[in-house]
């Protein structure tokens, strides 16, 4: 395949972007509201 | 004397450096004030878990335990304030986690959140743009300078000038001097220092212990054991979540202390290691599939295909796998027989076999059978006549040279084994064991071939049972000569039951177990038509009597031997022989030999690619290949217009070489190619079945064989070069040019025309 290497680099950057979004969301999720905790 | 003193001073001063580093590391302990208290806490957790464990185990009432297992509690940081802010990704309790889980996915699916993330990436992009902005003023002149190197010179080079080829420019000479004076000596000193630290283990062991304490690794280990003793009596799965959160808090000093750039290197090394192990696993799995393909085949297998499809490569690979398979089969027989009579002193039998092999009293499986059967006959005579205990008393008193039962306690253990198929006598088992041990332990290659094949099995014995390491993939070529040997030269006379080339050949009766590899067997055996032509040509040149006496494909009974060969090599109902051949056309080998086995046709080969998983850094690095391609274009233009070495070329070439060597080494180590095969009977009258075979570069091309093994045929005295041959003058060949071909076709045309 002619541009195999380029595709690998793009897929790698895309994977970093997606993983980064998961981590970013985790860092910005709010504090737990005590009333929401079910015993 | 002076040299020894200097040597000692040099050694002494490295000790001082190591002591200095140790004090530095001890001083770093002030950055981790909670390391030692954390170990104490983990030890307390372990103690409480042990008490809880015994209460649960013996009293079956863990609630009555006066001590609560503290492994469930969060770490206490109250002894000293830590400069490392704890990493809190997850909430502390499972209930909190359940609530946040729902909130997390709601937030994840929100567009505003996604846009904020993309906006936050602009900080990263800002850094990248700044780097590009700084580098661009340097890159453009660099590119222009590189282009100027490859411009055609304005004037012709002066042939009278004595120019030195490959001469370094002034800047390159200065740069190299700088490297020789500073960088190389520093690198050499660092390598020597690392070697010195390796030899003086007390230093690096101390440093390792200190950093394991600082990074809470020891406390994590103790806490893991504490949790294990708690978990096995409670199976409290929810507490696993708490342990994950605690682990993250314990790892905080390590994660915060080590800089981000170092983590990139660590992640790369870890990913690379995991990917390499996965690659090795895949190679071993492919080798197992190849062994499965080999085991499906019969005694005789013939490979054919177009030129260049890899027949000899596949033949060599199969031979190596077959040799390994024979040893594994022998080992299987040893273990099975051992289990049939578990109390027999097999070690004594092995020692006896080893001694007889050294004294050359046993040279093949037939001599072993004769030996064991003679002893069995003696044993049965003693047993039937009630003389066995008299014999044993003589053995105990030392009046017998050998104990034919090897000290087996026949009085208490059985002498027969019933496997629901037959009754196996102890001496039948000894015979199978002895033959299998002979095959397994003989210190030589099991391959006979008409071309050289390098084998490399690593055998460890230490005076006891030998074990083999014949891993094809993890060998370092640096040590190849230390563990390599070559296969045996095949003597066809031992495969001839009729006439032989040398009638008094000492090898003529040596046919036995092994892997027989014959390349280009069609040239060796020929087909019926060629044999008849050969026979009639010989008849014209010799007398009838002389023609009858000489060995030929007609009277050597080679085909009969192939048909019978398995009878000579059976041990415990397993066949210990493989005959592997390759040829250009199956029809060129007579049906009498070819139809004995199966014919394997190599239809085509897949693309060669490394068997590394998708997450291996290799694929990303491989993606930067366009730099390599760009350098190649520049380099070709450069050497086309000039002969000297410049600094720019030196730097670019060395960087590109590092990249190229990494790609080359990885592809050669993990490279694998799928062969698509068609397998059919030697009669070639049925529908072929499709199979796959895996050609692996590390196994097949590690100096295993020479692909031009028959090249000696063409290595003749010659003084004519390719440039000396006459070229055609025009697109249409003239008659004199056609005559120069010395062609049958051209001669026939001339005859018809005239």
Q: Answer whether A25 sits within 8 Å of B107, measured CB to CB.
A: yes
What is the three-class DSSP state of B490? coil
Q: Answer whether B98 sits within 8 Å of A39, measured CB to CB.
A: no
Minimal CA separation from A16 to chain B, in Å: 12
Picking from A1, A3, A7, A8 by the largest number of B CB atoms within 10 A of its own CB, the best residue to mutate is: A8
Mean pLDDT, rounded, for B236-250: 87
Overall pTM > 0.80: yes
Burial environment of residue B572 by CB neighbours within 10 A (0 to 12, 13 to 18, 19 or more): buried
C-alpha of B201 from chain center? 31
Picking from B620, B628, B667 by the largest number of A CB atoms within 10 A of its own CB, the best residue to mutate is: B620
**Beta-carbon contacts of residue B295 (< 8 Å; ≥ 6 apart):** B325
Contact in structure between B526 and B590 (CB atoms under 8 Å): yes
Q: Supply B672's token pair.
A: 């694998």
In angstroms, the CA B542 to CA B550 distance is: 11
Q: Supply B650's token pair.
A: 């030196």
Q: Answer whether A9 sits within 8 Å of B96, measured CB to CB.
A: no
Q: Supply B458's token pair.
A: 């690593």
Q: In b/e form, how buried is each residue of B149-184, taking b as 16+ CB within 10 angstroms?
A: ebeeeeeeeeeeeeeeeeebeeebeeeeeeeeeeee
The one-character DSSP state at B219 is H
Nearest chain B residue to A31 by CA distance is: B100
Which residues in B lie closer than 8 A to residue A12 (C-beta atoms)?
619-620, 623
Mean pLDDT, rounded, for B521-549: 71
Q: Is the pLDDT of residue B91 over 80?
A: no
Which one of A5, A12, A22 has the shortest CB-CB distance to B626? A5
More confident residue, B147 or B657: B657
Q: Is the pLDDT of residue B1 over 50?
A: no
Picking from A10, A21, A32 by the largest number of B CB atoms within 10 A of its own CB, the best residue to mutate is: A32
- B 355-394 residues with CB below 8 A of A? none
What is the three-class DSSP state of B414? coil
Q: Could you report the per-residue pLDDT of B476-506, keeping only the tens digit for each?
A: 888 888 888 999 999 998 888 888 888 888 8
pLDDT-based confidence at residue B549 (cuts at 50, 70, 90): low
ipTM: 0.84
In angstroms, the CA B245 to CA B46 distance is: 18
Q: Answer whether A36 sits within 8 Å of B623, measured CB to CB.
A: no
The one-character DSSP state at B689 is E
Q: In b/e form, how buried is each residue of B658-685, taking b as 16+ CB within 10 angstroms?
A: ebeeebeebbebbbbbbbebebbebeee
Q: Could you report the per-residue pLDDT of B429-486, keeping only the tens digit for each?
A: 999 999 999 999 999 999 999 999 999 888 888 878 999 988 899 988 888 888 889 9
Q: Supply B339's token pair.
A: 């289990």
Q: Answer whether A12 sits within 8 Å of B623, measured CB to CB.
A: yes
Q: Answer whether B620 sits within 8 Å of A37, measured CB to CB.
A: no
**Beta-carbon contacts of residue A18 (< 8 Å; ≥ 6 apart):** none
Contact in structure between B302 and B682 (CB atoms under 8 Å): yes
Q: Could you report the per-residue pLDDT of B581-604, keeping only the tens digit for each?
A: 998 888 887 777 777 888 999 999
C-alpha of B63 from chain center? 55
In angstroms, the CA B620 to CA A10 distance is: 9
Contact in structure between B22 and B203 (CB atoms under 8 Å): yes
Which one of B91, B98, B619 has the shortest CB-CB distance to A8? B619
Nearest Cα to Cα of residue B552 among B581, B526, B585: B526
Which residues in A lie closer than 8 A to residue B113 (C-beta atoms)?
25, 28
- B 23-62 residues with CB below 8 A of A? none
Q: Could you report the per-residue pLDDT of B635-671, keeping only the tens digit for each?
A: 998 888 888 888 989 999 999 999 999 999 999 999 9
Interface of chain A toward chain B, CB-CB under 8 angstroms:
4-9, 12, 17, 20-22, 24-30, 32-33, 36-39
Specify the pLDDT at position B154: 53
pLDDT-based confidence at residue A36 (cuts at 50, 70, 90): low
Q: Could you report the per-residue pLDDT of B601-636, keeping only the tens digit for each?
A: 999 999 999 999 988 889 888 888 888 888 999 899
Which residues in A lie closer than 8 A to residue B96 (C-beta atoms)?
32, 37
In angstroms, the CA B108 to CA A25 distance is: 6
In this predicted structure, which of A5-9, B322-326, B728-732 has the lowest mean pLDDT? Answer: A5-9
H helix count then E strand count, chain A: 1, 0
In angstroms, the CA B452 to CA B401 distance is: 44
**Beta-carbon contacts of residue B431 (< 8 Å; ≥ 6 apart):** B368, B369, B372, B373, B376
Q: Supply B129's token pair.
A: 């743009």
Specify the pLDDT at position B356: 94
What is the three-class DSSP state of B498? coil
Q: What share of chain A is helix, strand, coil (3-state, %, to 5)?
A: 70, 0, 30
Which residues in A lie closer than 8 A to residue B103 (C-beta atoms)?
29-30
Other CB atoms within 10 Å distance of the CB of residue B269: 11
Q: Could you report the per-residue pLDDT of B199-220, keeping only the tens digit for each?
A: 989 999 999 999 999 999 999 9
Which one of A7, A21, A36 has the shortest CB-CB distance to B117? A21
Q: Answer whether B108 sits within 8 Å of A22, measured CB to CB.
A: yes
Helix B2-28 × helix B201-214 angle, to 10° = 10
Nearest Cα to Cα of residue A8 among B612, B274, B661: B612
Q: Answer whether A7 sits within 8 Å of B108, measured CB to CB.
A: no
**Is the Cβ of B107 closer than 8 Å to some Cβ of chain A?**
yes
Q: Is the pLDDT of residue B224 over 90?
A: yes
With vertex at residue B180, the alpha carbon angle to CA B177 and CA B185, rounded to the nearest 5 degrees, is 150
Please state whether beta strands B447-449 and B514-519 pair in parallel, antiparallel, or not at all (unpaired). parallel
- Name the residue with tokens 């060129």: B588
Minimal CA separation from A25 to chain B, in Å: 6
Question: Which residues are bridge partners to B418 per DSSP?
Answer: B423
Q: Supply B390's token pair.
A: 């008299």
Query: What is the average pLDDT score of chain B?
Result: 87
C-alpha of B399 from chain center? 53
Count CA within 13 A, CB hemisphere, residue B242.
16
Q: Supply B323's token pair.
A: 């040799």
């Amino acid at each position: 395949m002619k541009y195999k290497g380029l595709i690998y680099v793009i897929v790698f950057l895309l994977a970093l972007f997606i993983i980064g979004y998961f981590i970013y969301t985790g860092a910005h999720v709010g504090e737990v509201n005590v009333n929401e905790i079910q015993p | 004397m002076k040299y020894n003193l200097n040597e000692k001073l040099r050694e002494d001063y490295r000790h001082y450096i190591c002591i200095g580093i140790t004090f530095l590391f001890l001083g770093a302990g002030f950055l981790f004030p909670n390391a030692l208290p954390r170990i104490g806490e983990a030890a307390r957790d372990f103690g409480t878990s042990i008490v809880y464990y015994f209460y649960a185990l013996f009293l079956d009432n863990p609630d009555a335990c006066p001590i609560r297992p503290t492994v469930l509690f969060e770490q206490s940081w109250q002894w000293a304030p830590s400069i490392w802010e704890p990493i809190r990704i997850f909430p502390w309790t499972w209930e909190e986690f359940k609530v946040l889980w729902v909130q997390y996915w709601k937030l994840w699916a929100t567009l505003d959140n996604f846009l904020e993330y993309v906006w936050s990436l602009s900080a990263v992009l800002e850094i990248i743009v700044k780097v590009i902005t700084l580098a661009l003023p340097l890159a453009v002149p660099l590119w222009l300078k590189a282009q100027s190197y490859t411009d055609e010179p304005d004037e012709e080079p002066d042939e009278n000038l004595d120019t030195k080829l490959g001469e370094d420019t002034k800047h390159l000479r200065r740069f190299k001097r700088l490297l020789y004076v500073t960088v190389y000596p520093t690198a050499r000193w660092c390598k020597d220092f690392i070697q010195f630290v390796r030899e003086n283990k007390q230093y690096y062991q101390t440093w390792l212990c200190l950093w394991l304490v600082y990074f809470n690794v020891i406390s994590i280990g103790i806490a893991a054991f504490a949790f294990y003793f708690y978990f096995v009596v409670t199976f409290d799965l929810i507490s696993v979540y708490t342990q994950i959160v605690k682990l993250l808090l314990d790892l905080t000093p390590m994660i915060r202390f080590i800089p981000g750039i170092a983590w990139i290197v660590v992640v790369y090394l870890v990913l690379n290691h995991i990917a390499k192990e996965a690659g090795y696993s895949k190679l071993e799995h492919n080798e197992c599939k190849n062994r499965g393909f080999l085991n499906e085949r019969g005694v005789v297998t013939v490979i054919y295909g177009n030129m260049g499809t890899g027949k000899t490569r596949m033949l060599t690979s199969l031979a190596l796998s077959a040799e390994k398979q024979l040893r594994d089969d022998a080992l299987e027989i040893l273990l099975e027989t051992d289990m049939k009579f578990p109390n027999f002193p097999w070690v004594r039998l092995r020692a006896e076999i080893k001694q007889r092999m050294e004294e050359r009293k046993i040279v093949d499986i037939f001599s072993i059978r004769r030996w064991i059967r003679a002893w069995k006959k003696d044993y049965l005579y003693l047993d039937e006549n009630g003389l066995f205990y008299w014999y044993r008393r003589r053995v105990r008193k030392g009046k017998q040279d050998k104990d034919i039962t090897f000290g087996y306690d026949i009085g208490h253990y059985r002498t027969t084994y019933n496997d629901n198929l037959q009754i196996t006598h102890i001496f039948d088992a000894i015979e199978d064991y002895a033959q299998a041990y002979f095959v397994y332990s003989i210190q030589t290659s099991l391959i006979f071939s008409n071309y050289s094949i390098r084998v490399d099995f690593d055998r460890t014995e230490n005076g006891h049972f030998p074990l083999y390491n014949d891993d094809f993939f993890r060998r370092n070529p640096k040590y190849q000569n230390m563990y390599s040997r070559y296969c045996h030269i095949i003597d066809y006379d031992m495969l001839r039951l009729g006439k032989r080339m040398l009638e008094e050949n000492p090898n003529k009766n040596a046919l036995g177990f092994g892997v027989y590899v014959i390349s280009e067997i069609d040239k060796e055996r020929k087909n019926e038509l060629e044999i008849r032509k050969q026979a009639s040509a010989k008849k014209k040149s010799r007398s009838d009597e002389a023609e009858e006496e000489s060995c030929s494909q007609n009277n050597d009974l080679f085909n009969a031997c192939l048909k019978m060969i398995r009878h000579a090599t059976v041990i415990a109902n397993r066949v210990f022989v493989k005959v592997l051949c390759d040829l250009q056309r199956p029809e060129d080998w007579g049906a009498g030999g070819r139809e004995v086995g199966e014919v394997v046709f190599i239809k085509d080969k897949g693309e060669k690619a490394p068997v590394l998983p998708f997450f291996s850094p290799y694929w990303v690095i491989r993606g930067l290949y366009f730099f390599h391609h760009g350098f190649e274009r520049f380099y070709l233009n450069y050497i086309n217009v000039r002969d000297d070495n410049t600094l720019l070329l030196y730097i670019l070439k060395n960087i590109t070489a590092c990249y190229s060597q990494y790609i080359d080494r990885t592809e050669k180590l993990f490279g694998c190619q799928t062969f698509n095969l068609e397998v059919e009977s030697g009669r070639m009258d049925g529908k072929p079945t499709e199979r796959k075979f895996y050609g692996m570069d590390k196994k097949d091309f590690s100096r295993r064989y020479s692909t031009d093994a028959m090249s000696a045929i063409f290595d003749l005295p010659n003084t004519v070069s390719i440039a000396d041959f006459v070229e055609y003058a025009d697109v249409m060949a003239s008659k004199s040019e056609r005559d120069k071909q010395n062609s049958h076709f051209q001669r026939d045309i001339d005859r018809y025309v005239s």
